Structure 1
Amino acid sequence: MANNLRNPTLGLALLSLGLSIAVIGTAGRSLHVYYSEHSTNMWLLPVWPNHFDLRELQMLVGSAAAVVVCNLVLGTSLVVAKVSILLTFDGGRANADIRLQLPANGIVVVSSFLSTIVMMIALIFTTVLNWRAPHRDTLKTWTCRWSNVPRSLYSLGPPEQFHDLCQKTRFAYFSLIPLFILQVALLGLGIWALFSKRPQRSGHRELEKGGDYPLSNVQRQNVSFETKSASPQSYQTRNFSGGKS
């Protein structure tokens, strides 16, 4: 793959990984606080446990974990261009070293498509759950509603940790927006690299037949996740481009 696609794609994938891990941490921490204190903290309504809809936080953790897996697969396909399989026959008579070329373009498109769908579902689902408040609150809507209530001589007010829970759940929820944008960007790069290989294949057929092939199409042959800038294929492309100019 040419560096003009590989490096931006890896950068977006790393950014998506970091943000997804942050979502898992903040949403998971908020869930842990609720599960550990809801039976003793009167502000978490132990008498009405069904008032809280925890599916928002569960969806945030699950969808972020799915994005982590998809982005790891995507990044691995870009870093590891080939996979070696060593086969040993019975008796130790012969060994076979098979090198498989990973379809990086296809892996990038499939993994980013799946993560985009996951983020879209998570964004819609959690938004619908938040709209249902105050009929049925999420931990975000409840803690954010009461975190700004001032303490007085007659009331201790909500726990101090409500402000922290509000900030963490807000961060986890609103992080879905940049995460969704990142997955769409990765999907766009993957589709661009996938479809840019078609002129290259048709160009090889034209050259084999002895026909003319536009120089502009030759210069676009490097736009692929499966061809490194220092590979023999890209070297031949540069030589061909120089010869035609």
Structure 2
Amino acid sequence: MKINPAPLHLAQAIIIGLCAALSVAILGTSAHTLDVFNKQQSSNPWWLPLWPQHFDVAGTKALIGSAASVFVLSTVFLVLALVPSFNLVNRPTLRALLAIGTTIPSALVTLVTVIYAHILNNDTPELDTIQTWTCKYKNSQPLQQDLGMPANMGNGSFGSLCKQSKFALYGTLTVFLLLVASFGLTIVTWLADKWATRQNRKEMEMSGQQS
């Protein structure tokens, strides 16, 4: 039975590409929510400026670091795997090692980040994260005397920040699942490459004997 590993190579590149694209989106949303918090926390009454110790933003920072790490490692794999001059198509073991070397660290980082962020989100009401706070008060109405306050002095952006925070967390979980799938596909692709190489060698030997 002849196997063509090319579709597996393409599938692996697509999965890693999705991880890289999702990481950019996660990085953007996490960085934006943290930026809004940093700019408004000391002045916006909805961010409790007199009680800053109530907030724990370590989870958001972890999401930013995780997304950046996955993007860098995914980009390394895609560049080395897709640029013809590196010739990894004809070096299946090296390609597999590269995939494993970039996938496993990324998967571990994303898994730890998701667990850590989830633990912080469950620390309420003792502490709040950007996600728990904005989701809790996104539909709350300001006091009558606060209606004339500027946009950056209210909770008008809480709905968007809540959605962005959730996207960053569940997006990171999605990236982890994609990386697990990529790891499994790496093993299958390596076996397919080895089988195809073996079959090609047999065909060449048979052709040599016939000639």
State the SS of the aligned residue for 2:196. Answer: coil
Cross-structure match for 2:150:
none
Structure showing greater relative contact order (alpha-carbon pairs closer than 8 Å, 6 or more residues apart): 2
Cross-structure match for 1:112:
103
Letter in 1 for 2:116: F
State the SS of the aligned residue for 1:167. Answer: helix
The answer on 1:191 being equivalent to 2:196 is no
Per the TM alignment, residue 142 of structure 1 is displaced from its structure 2 partner at its CA by 0.2
Return the TM-score normalized by structure 2: 0.82
Cross-structure match for 2:72:
69
Cross-structure match for 1:17:
20
Q: Decide which structure has greater strand share.
A: 1
Q: Which deviates more from structure 2 when the two are superposed, residues 2-11 or residues 136-145? A: 2-11
Q: How many residues align?
A: 196
The verdict on how the C-alpha distance between 1:237 and 1:166 changes in structure 2, with shifts beyond 3 A counting, is farther
State the SS of the aligned residue for 1:135. Answer: coil
State the SS of the aligned residue for 1:175. Answer: helix
Per the TM alignment, residue 242 of structure 1 is displaced from its structure 2 partner at its CA by 9.3
Identity of matched residues, %: 28
Structure 2 unaligned runs (5+)?
148-152
The answer on 1:180 being equivalent to 2:176 is yes
Return the TM-score normalized by structure 1: 0.71
Q: Deviation string for 1:198-236 (max 9, x for gaps)?
A: xx5xxxxxxxxxxxxxxxxxxx325xxxxxxxxxx8755
Return the alpha-carbon distance in structure 2 between the equivalents of residues 115 and 81 of structure 1: 25
Moved over 6 A (4+): 240-243
Return the alpha-carbon distance in structure 1 between the equivalents of residues 123 and 203 of structure 2: 59
Give the root-mean-square deviation of aligned CA atoms: 2.8
Q: Decide which structure has greater helix share.
A: 2
Per the TM alignment, residue 77 of structure 1 is displaced from its structure 2 partner at its CA by 2.5
Cross-structure match for 1:78:
81
Could you say which structure has the larger radius of gyration?
Answer: 1
